[in-house]
């Protein structure tokens, strides 16, 4: 392949499948050759991200990601994407392993929130316990001058149940539970916009979009950015020039 990007996936596999499905179905095609060129690394054995973030005696997931990135870098992709929010705990360490541009889906999502809802002073955040615990999205949101609303103590158990007990363990989306979480964040905690800080939540949004609430869906946004960049590069733009607008630091 002349131009391709690498997807560091498998966290979890069904959520990665959702991301791939989005880019495949959103790109405009008239023939097979119009689809994007990419390599999918579906590393399903990467240790649980939240487990390590909350307890460093658990297996460190960095080394599996490091191995994936270093091996893929030898193939010289145009850029890396990693459709897992919690894995961005090690984003800077992973990006430092290679000269290949590495998109940060968290930064891209937060800046999309600013662009789409410039008058909103706060955003609701639902995510894995690991992301909440290490303030991954909270830091990004505060960095751009906005506040974060997590909801009450009942919210996180509901979110964890949806992510782990439904999607990760059973491979199904509990539509009613997902909509109930969004409703509570909106009605009880005043969140006009809610950020889906886990790709399993993005999968829930893909499967159950029939609700009235405003969401920022990082995986969906990343899919659109991926298509934009891949097509620009295919049409002759230098990869680093194409990607520069999405590298915020």
Return d(Cα 163, Cα 16) in angstroms, integer. 14
Return d(Cα 15, Cα 171) in angstroms, integer. 10
The SS3 call for residue 203 is helix
Alpha helices (H) in the chain, listed in sequence order? 13-26, 49-54, 62-73, 91-95, 105-116, 129-134, 136-143, 155-160, 169-170, 175-187, 199-207, 218-234, 239-243
* Active-site amino acid positions: 84, 198
Measuring CA to CA, which residue among 44, 45, 102 is closest to residue 72?
A: 102
């Amino acid at each position: 392949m002349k131009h391709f990007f690498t997807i560091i996936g498998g966290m979890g596999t069904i959520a990665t499948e959702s991301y791939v499905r989005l880019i495949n179905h959103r790109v405009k095609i008239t023939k097979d050759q119009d689809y994007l060129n990419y390599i999918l690394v579906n590393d399903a054995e990467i240790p649980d991200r939240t487990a390590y973030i909350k307890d460093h005696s658990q297996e460190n997931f960095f080394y599996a990601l490091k191995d994936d990135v270093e091996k893929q870098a030898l193939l010289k992709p145009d850029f890396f994407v990693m459709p897992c929010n919690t894995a961005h705990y090690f984003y800077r360490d992973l990006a430092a392993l290679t000269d290949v541009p590495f998109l940060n889906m968290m930064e891209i999502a937060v800046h999309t929130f600013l662009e789409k809802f410039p008058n909103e002073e706060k955003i609701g955040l639902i995510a894995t316990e690991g992301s909440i615990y290490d303030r991954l999205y909270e830091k990004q949101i505060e960095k751009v001058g906005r506040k974060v609303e997590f909801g009450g103590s009942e919210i996180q158990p509901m979110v964890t149940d949806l992510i782990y007990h439904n999607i990760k363990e059973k491979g199904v989306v509990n539509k009613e539970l997902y909509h109930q979480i969004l409703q509570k964040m909106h009605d009880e905690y005043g969140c006009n916009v809610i950020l889906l800080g886990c790709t399993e939540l993005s999968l829930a949004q893909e499967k159950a979009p029939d609700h009235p609430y405003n969401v920022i869906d990082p995986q969906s946004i990343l899919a659109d950015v991926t298509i934009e960049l891949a097509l620009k590069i295919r049409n002759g733009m230098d990869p680093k020039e194409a990607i520069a607008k999405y590298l915020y630091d």
